[in-house]
A and B are shown apart, each in its own frame.
Chain A
Amino acid sequence: MANNFNSADIGAFKNVWVFCEQRQGSMMPTSYELISEGRKLADELGVELHGILLGDDVDGLAKELGGYGADKVYVYNSPLLKNYTTDAYTKVICDAAMEFKPEIFLVGASNIGRDLAPRVAARLHTGLCADCTHLDVDLNGYIEFLKTGSSLNLEGTKFESKLFDVNTNLKMTRPAFGGHLMATIVCPRFRPAMATVRPGVMKKRPFDAAKAEAVEIIHPAFELTAEDMKTEVLEVVKSAKKLVDLIGADIIVSVGAGISKDVQTGLKLAQELADELGGVVGASRAAVDAGYITADHQVGQTGKTVHPKVYVALGISGAIQHKAGMQDSELIIAVNKAENAPIFEVADYGICGDLFKVVPQLIESIRAEKAAK
């Protein structure tokens, strides 16, 4: 099979694939986001959307993928696939891709997806674009996206290419250079065009119960033995502390380098304000790098992209990668001592002041407002 496979024979490839990541038998929420986005791309191409699901006895997870838009789900069950390992997952997925030849393959940019996708792309000899935040097949849709998603002057921009069909090739947009630049990447000469997609960026479609019932579940034959696996997972440990669910949060109160004066108090104030608003605590890269708070709280380029209803930035100057990670929040409030801090450029409401003074007052004001209701 592998001997006949030619990733450059692009006409032989059809349909959109999504790697549906499960951990310990639970589907990762990003899988639903990717299925939803994959549905859009499949519709633009007029092809089917297929999920690919690996695990041990995971058939029960397949239907729900149908509810978000999958036409078919390829399920690969084996005790050897219970825990993620690079070798086993890469082998099964590459063999499947060589057999069924998808033209687009999306993978969530989780710590597992970012381990798997590059290895798969290297084996298949195809291109992979990392951490995409926007995907288009349709050129008009892409141009519409650029109108609000870029600072490009579209009047002077040419979109035609002599080298490939700009209307059918996947256009993969991602931040680069710490979010200072955006780049749209294409993979015109090889298939599948592969992308990892940042968790939390793509919107989940409404669940369609009828589509969930209609999804076709397929169990293709596959070969995998223990000898294929050169790494062994000895244990999987869930973090004792609750995972900071920044992506799903409606309200985020983030701290930056501005808490350096008194880190303990700064964090306590942020937590108190978050509790008062019913939200969670996030952080800028500077605060994480300084060791004030753990990396799972980080918002921004190498952290997470968030779009909560309310985002409160405390002592965050607003490096461009941080702004890129939070500027789509519905309401942004910023407190910073520096009047010219870039964070105020994206804030709906700004207060120029010391967070150690402003936040306790704000908590009091909120309590008073609540009491008055």
Chain B
Amino acid sequence: MKILVTVKQVPDTSGKVAVNPDGTLNRASMQTIINPDDMNAIEAALALKDELGCKVVAVTMGPFAAESMLRELMAMGVDESVLISGREFGGSDTYATSQIVAAGLDTYGIDEDDIILCGRQAIDGDTAQVGPQIAEKLHLPQVTYASEIKKEGNTLFIKRELEDGYMTVKVQTPCVITCVKELNTPRYMSVLGTEECYDKPMIVYDYPALQNHALIEPDTIGLKGSPTNIFKSFTPPMKGAGQMLEGDGKETTDKLAGILAAKHII
């Protein structure tokens, strides 16, 4: 049994974000982080490893610079990593990305008792599409928005979050599960882990390594293989500044209450 976890290195959009004059993101100026939801998927995998002693493999698609992220994850306890990297894969939308990552996972090998974990969504696109699309391409069942995972043999019991409650879903391995942050609190790297992480295996799949896979065709990967294209990108307008009320005392809040009354809000 092993757990394959898909992860992504993303620009940190929580802080200041620099935008180029042409409306594209100035990635060079931004810090990269491991996508937050992916950390919950990693933690879920490591927790299952602690319990069952299975192997945990982190899988990413991205530039070679993503190696630093994979080393960090191996320092947390991930046993092995797969880096899918190639010029041919660039410009992929979620459809093309899932095609490539599914080919990478399949090439690595998915056994009957394996689990594929993904983060719910990545903060750069916030689409939540790649997990389900990987599942479809691999013909595997999926459960998204998992906030609890219990394993009994090859059967998983998942608490799946809904806006107005939750569902409990039963599914057999192999399957794809996407994880939400309510699932757990990710652990830190260990001192021993940071020493060991450079000795752990990191496999690189470039285009030649995957090109014979049935999912990899020139018209299903990269920019050319992406059904969606960006037509325009732009920054949103900001509403004009209003009025700052002077002071923070009672007379100021009285004034505000007066305004609310005049507008028939109270």
Contacts and interface: CB of A to CB of B under 8 A. Distances in A.
Interface of A: 23, 83-84, 86-87, 90, 110-112, 114-115, 117-119, 121-123, 125-131, 146, 148-152, 157, 161, 166, 171, 175-190, 230-239, 243, 251, 276-277, 285, 295-296, 301-302, 309-310, 319-321, 323-324, 327, 331-333, 344-354, 357-358, 361-362, 364-366, 368-370, 373
Contacts of A324: 236
Interface of B: 11, 13-14, 17, 19, 23-25, 93-95, 98, 121, 123-133, 135-137, 141-145, 157, 160-172, 175, 182, 226-239, 241-245, 247-250, 252-254, 256-261, 263, 265-266
A309 B257 CA distance: 15
A276 B228 CA distance: 47
Contact of A111 (B163, B252, B257): B163
B141 A86 contact: yes
B136 A127 contact: no
Contacts of B19: 180-181
A327 B240 CA distance: 10
B58 to A, nearest CB: 22
9 contacts: A83-B167, A127-B95, A177-B125, A184-B233, A187-B229, A231-B170, A231-B171, A349-B242, A350-B242
A233 B236 contact: no
Question: Residue among B226, B254, B260 with the most chain A CB within 10 A?
Answer: B260
A373 B230 CA distance: 55
B144 A115 contact: yes
A10 to B, nearest CB: 11
Contacts of B124: 176-177
A231 B242 contact: no
Given A127-B227, A130-B128, A176-B124, A114 B144 contact: yes
B236 A179 contact: yes
* Interface residue SS majority, chain B: mixed
A152 B22 CA distance: 9
Contacts of A87: 141
A331 B265 contact: yes
Given A123-B136, A243-B164, A370-B266, A150 B231 contact: no
B238 A178 contact: no
Contacts of A161: 231
Nearest to B227: A127
Given A118-B132, A180-B25, A352 B145 contact: no
A144 B18 CA distance: 27
B165 A236 contact: yes
B93 A127 contact: yes
Given A324-B236, A353-B248, A369-B266, A186 B229 contact: yes
A234 B25 contact: no
Nearest to A133: B236
A177 B25 contact: yes
A348 B263 CA distance: 13
Shortest 6 CB-CB distances between A and B: which pairs?
A353-B248, A127-B227, A178-B13, A127-B228, A365-B257, A230-B141
* Interface residue SS majority, chain A: mixed
A73 B168 CA distance: 30
Contacts of A361: 249-250, 252-253
Given A129-B228, A186-B229, A352-B244, 16 more contacts: A23-B162, A86-B142, A87-B141, A111-B144, A119-B135, A176-B125, A180-B13, A239-B164, A321-B13, A331-B265, A349-B259, A351-B256, A354-B248, A358-B252, A366-B266, A369-B258
A117 B247 CA distance: 51
Contacts of B235: 150-151, 180-182
Nearest to A148: B237
A176 B93 CA distance: 13
A334 to B, nearest CB: 9
B243 A185 contact: no
A166 B236 CA distance: 22
A231 B173 CA distance: 11
B100 to A, nearest CB: 13
B237 to A, nearest CB: 5
B9 to A, nearest CB: 14
Nearest to B143: A231
Contacts of A171: 231
Given A111-B145, A118-B133, A344 B232 contact: no
A91 to B, nearest CB: 11
Contacts of A188: 229
B243 A177 contact: no
